[in-house]
Amino acid sequence: MGSNEALQMLLPIVKVAKQLLIRMCNLTNKSCEMLADVLRSKSSTLQELDLSGSHLQLRKVKQLCLALRSEDCNLENLRLNGCKLNEESCDAVVSAFNSNSASIRELDMSGNQLNDSVVKKLSETLKTQKCKLRVLRLRWCGVKQEGFRDLTTALQANPSHLKELDLSMNTSGDAGVHALCEVLNQPQCRLEVLKLNKCELTHDCCSSLESIMSSQSSSLLELHLRDNKIQDAGVERIAAGLEKAHCKLQVLKLCNCSVSVKGCGFLAAALRRNPSHLRELYLNWNHLINLGTNPLTELLDIPDLKLEKLDINSPYLVE
């Protein structure tokens, strides 16, 4: 059965559904027309649309974007992860988001190549007070330092709504993180989840991350830094933030960050001083030694320790 026939059969359900997941499907133009009709319908209750992994050519994207612009569209979550969108398609999506930013709460355009002009247009919308976006995912979107600066400027203008920001697999470098942390230090910033996996970061950015973790006004609960060269010098700064009384961090991911047992010692010391917040710690794929002599395993007898998951599994373990 083709996508047209399948969607036609499901239309009565789609029209009353709140969530529609059509991942990795070869949607035809006709299927996109039917879906667009649902989105612009006054009676539609659809709030979440996930088309991740579907190859959406420009014509199909434009059909959906016209519906997104409609005042009757109630969509809150839009996921277009890995849809092979070209520059013009990305521009169409962002333009549609600009028209309906008051209702969209989650936008995922990961795995599509956004150029600087598209990121800038997206950032301009984020600046406006009508924008209520809570989750923005731009993994592997070709965002460079200029794009990071545009997004940082946008968050400075409107920092109070965004809860999760994923910029993983973009080449921000340490400079991008330093600028971003200046925004996160604002008292009105409510960001809870920050993902910067594989962003070509070094230990140099960790002093800025420490200041966020130590800040009384910070809302940060999760920090993801996988696949960066953080090294022990960077872990020492992060550990300094963890031990502060104001630190609220619950999840810390440092997988494949060139951390040795020395870095584990910094983290262990920090958790002895402040054992009450961190729930999950990931250090797998680092250069660690035998589990029995890792200083982190000595924390298990601390009564106030709230750590629920400790992952130090690594192919580099030395017996």
In tens, the pLDDT along 258-309 reads: 999 999 999 999 999 999 899 999 999 998 866 557 788 778 778 889 999 9
**Has residue 4 been placed in a domain?**
no
**Has residue 196 been placed in a domain?**
yes
Residues 248 and 228: their CA atoms lie apart, in Å, by 23
- Residue 120's pLDDT band (cuts 50, 70, 90): very high
Q: Tell me how far apart the 2 most distant CA atoms of the chain are, in Å.
A: 64
**Is pLDDT of 79 > 90?**
yes
**Has residue 44 been placed in a domain?**
no
**Has residue 64 been placed in a domain?**
no
Q: Mean pLDDT, the chain, as a whole number?
A: 88
**Is pLDDT of 318 > 50?**
no
Number of domains in the chain: 1
Residues 127 and 5: their CA atoms lie apart, in Å, by 42
Distance of CA 273 to the CA centre of its chain: 30
**Is pLDDT of 80 > 90?**
yes
**Has residue 287 been placed in a domain?**
yes
Domain that residue 298 falls in: 14-27+49-56+76-311
Q: State the pLDDT at residue 4.
A: 54
Q: State the pLDDT at residue 300.
A: 73
**Has residue 278 been placed in a domain?**
yes
**Has residue 9 been placed in a domain?**
no
DSSP bridge pairs for 252: 223, 281
Residues 9 and 4: their CA atoms lie apart, in Å, by 9
With contact defined as beta carbons under 8 Å apart, do 106 and 77 qualify?
yes
Q: Say which range, 151-160, 198-207, 219-228, 277-286, has the weakest mean pLDDT.
A: 151-160
| Domain CATH number, residue 202 | 3.80.10.10
Tens-place pLDDT, residues 155-188: 999 988 899 999 999 988 899 899 899 888 888 8
As a whole number of Å, the end-to-end CA separation of the chain is 55
- Residue 29's pLDDT band (cuts 50, 70, 90): confident
Q: Token pair of 239, please? A: 């550990």
Q: State the pLDDT at residue 145.
A: 84
**Has residue 248 been placed in a domain?**
yes
User: If you average pLDDT over residues 37-59, what whole number do you get?
Assistant: 89
